[in-house]
Amino acid sequence: MDYKKAGVDIEAGYKSVELMKEHVKKTMRPEVLGGLGGFSGAFSLAKIKEMEEPVLLSGTDGCGTKVKLAFIMDKHDTIGIDAVAMCVNDVACAGGEPLFFLDYIACGKNIPEKIATIVAGVAEGCRQSECALIGGETAEHPGLMPEDDYDLAGFAVGVADKKDIITGENIKAGDVLVGIASSGVHSNGFSLVRKVFENELTKEGLNTYYDELGKTLGEALIAPTRIYVKALKAVKEAGVKINGCSHITGGGFQENIPRMLPEGARAVVKKDSYEIPPIFTMMQKKANIAEDMMYNTFNMGLGMVLSVNAEDVDTVVKAIESAGDKAFVVGHIEAGEKGVTLC
């Protein structure tokens, strides 16, 4: 009896590390010390000494049941972007710059080529957010997970000068809400998504092209979560102080927008102020989902919502679009009970 006969292939683990090294190298920053394979990742904090009062920010998350689509489609090169996006967007939402990221992959069986492909997506997400992939873990769980299954999660650390942290405390009546377009469903609400499309969750069903989507169902659903680090950095570099920022994840508008609001401030969002991506309209019609439930579950086409001073709106929109994202004026802040009104 040996470890391999028990279900854990150590040699496959070594091969996975070798295959992923080329992808990890593309994420390196000057602050990274040492190479891949150590017991811990080392990152120099010398540069943050320039800040008046540096504060570390962190975020951790996974991709939820979106990984089931990757299994069915046998497409594993973008799910890693989702894992990074969910973490770094939270850091950026607080006004931070993501510095480094670590991933965790639990799998039923370590297939080196598949693991390397997943990590390639993680590395791409890190590249998009300009943070370094400095470590990770691939855990083989025979008997606990089916051989072809895996789960993916991650952890990001960022930094901000305390004076630049976005807390929402400066939000006031008269502020304007600017939304940044999502790339689709992102990584939340997939338990409901899978229920809506339960009869289409086959390779053939997901490869079916729909005119209203302009792509296959699988392409629409597995589109990786948009990363907003560069957009928010562009706003800061344009000299604008964001009063409040909400990352629209699980819980949609109803849960996430109030998280940025101080007491006595109410967000008013105009539903017709931007075009809702067709995948949401398709789901709502197909399953007869109540509109309130849609806005309480999905991002409905907006991955971030910012609260800014009215005089800064044009500058903010131009900065976001200069970073390659689409921005919309979607509402305003008024005095009232803390919460959100959709109209």
Determine, yes or no, domain membership for 98: yes
Determine, yes or no, domain membership for 336: yes
Q: What is the pLDDT of residue 80?
A: 97
Determine, yes or no, domain membership for 200: yes
Mean pLDDT to the nearest integer, 113-129: 96
Q: Are residues 63 and 184 in the same domain?
A: no
Q: What is the pLDDT of residue 40?
A: 81
Q: Are residues 81 and 160 in the same domain?
A: yes
Determine, yes or no, domain membership for 2: no
Q: Are residues 235 and 100 in the same domain?
A: no
How many structural domains comprise the chain?
2
Name which of 166, 176, 171, 177 is nearest 310 in CA terms.
176
Last residue of a domain, one of 164, 194, 215: 164
Task: For residue range 180-238, list pLDDT tens digits in order.
Answer: 999 999 999 999 999 999 999 999 999 999 999 999 999 999 999 999 999 999 999 99
Q: What is the pLDDT of residue 48?
A: 87
Mean pLDDT to the nearest integer, 83-106: 97
Q: Are residues 122 and 183 in the same domain?
A: no
The answer on pLDDT for 14 being more than 70 is no
Q: What is the pLDDT of residue 33?
A: 87
The enclosing domain of 17 has a CATH number of 3.30.1330.10
Task: For residue range 37-63, list pLDDT tens digits in order.
Answer: 677 888 889 888 889 999 999 999 999
pTM, to two decimals: 0.93
Contacts of 15 (CB under 8 A, 6+ apart): 112
CB 115 within 8 A of CB 16: yes
- pLDDT band, very low/low/confident/very high, at 8 (cuts 50, 70, 90): low
Determine, yes or no, domain membership for 273: yes
Distance CA 189, CA 46 (A): 40
The answer on pLDDT for 3 being more than 60 is no
Mean pLDDT to the nearest integer, 260-269: 97
Q: What is the pLDDT of residue 31?
A: 86
Q: Range of 190's domain?
A: 176-342
Q: Are residues 203 and 334 in the same domain?
A: yes
Task: For residue range 173-182, list pLDDT tens digits in order.
Answer: 999 999 999 9
Q: Are residues 182 and 324 in the same domain?
A: yes
CB 264 within 8 A of CB 151: no
- pLDDT band, very low/low/confident/very high, at 4 (cuts 50, 70, 90): low
Q: Are residues 72 and 181 in the same domain?
A: no
- Range scoring the smallest mean pLDDT among 5-14, 63-72, 173-182: 5-14
Q: Are residues 154 and 186 in the same domain?
A: no
Q: Which residues pair with 107 in a beta bridge?
A: 140, 150
Q: What is the pLDDT of residue 207?
A: 96
Distance CA 35, CA 273 (A): 48
Task: For residue range 134-181, list pLDDT tens digits in order.
Answer: 999 999 999 899 999 999 999 999 999 999 999 999 999 999 999 999
Q: Are residues 243 and 308 in the same domain?
A: yes
Task: For residue range 276-329, list pLDDT tens digits in order.
Answer: 999 999 999 999 999 999 999 999 999 999 999 999 999 999 999 999 999 999
Q: Are residues 151 and 263 in the same domain?
A: no
- pLDDT band, very low/low/confident/very high, at 25 (cuts 50, 70, 90): confident
CB 54 within 8 A of CB 155: no
Q: Mean of the per-residue pLDDT values for the chain?
A: 93
The enclosing domain of 309 has a CATH number of 3.90.650.10
Q: What is the pLDDT of residue 2?
A: 45
Q: What is the pLDDT of residue 200?
A: 94
Q: Are residues 108 and 194 in the same domain?
A: no
Reduced 3-state DSSP string for the chain = CCCCCCCCCHHHHHHHHHHHHHHHHCCCCCCEECCCCCCCCEECCHHHHHCCCEEEEEEEEECHHHHHHHHHHCCCCCHHHHHHHHHHHHHHHCCCEEEEEEEEEEECCCCHHHHHHHHHHHHHHHHHHCCEEEEEEEEECECCECCCCEEEEEEEEEEEEHHHCCCCCCCCCCCEEEEEECCCCCCCCHHHHHHHCCCCCCHHHHCCEECCCCEEHHHHHHCCCCCCHHHHHHHHHCCCCCCEEEECCCCHHHHHHHHHCCCCEEEEECHHHCCCCHHHHHHHHHHCCCHHHHHCCCCCCEEEEEEECHHHHHHHHHHHHHCCCCEEEEEEEEECCCEEEEC
Q: What is the pLDDT of residue 225?
A: 98
